[in-house]
Amino acid sequence: MDIRWNPRTGEQRTTRVVDATVITTSQGITDNTQELLHYEPDYKVLICQEHGYALQRLDSHLRDYHPITLKQRKAITRKYAQHELLEPTSVPLPPPLEAPFKALGKPVDAFLYEEEECGFVSISRSATAKHCNKSHDWK
């Protein structure tokens, strides 16, 4: 059983997980996994909205970073097993300067290589320099 308190409203609710469905005693039957996880079908990635990044191994992420039981973890993993996930190196990049995915949270400042055919983006100055040196023969 999990007791959660919402600091905004002061509401306290008790939940228990049965398979992938969370039963909320004060609100009837709901499935709250979409509050935590978001599947992006165009890019075939599963995003943890709390941590703001795409997951490669859902089960280990839930085990290591979310205080849930083994039964809950297995139910959530089963629910999302139907979705095809790409390896990180195979995920296509979205077009530059488009609206960000809400599931990833607020955008962060980053460096964008301005050549249209490249579209390289990174938050690291050194990674950007390495990319430019290697891919575009900058010196």
Query: pLDDT tens digits for 48-86?
Result: 988 888 888 999 999 998 888 888 888 889 989 999 999
115 within some domain: yes
| Percentage above 70 pLDDT, the chain | 77
Write out the residue range of the structural domain in which residue 118 sits: 108-136
Q: How would you classify the pairing of strands 45-48 and 37-40? A: antiparallel
Q: pLDDT grade, residue 11 (50/70/90)?
A: low
101 within some domain: no
pTM: 0.56
Same domain, 20 and 70: yes
99 within some domain: no
125 within some domain: yes
Same domain, 22 and 78: yes
In whole angstroms, what is the distance from residue 91 CA to residue 99 CA? 18
- DSSP designation for 92: P
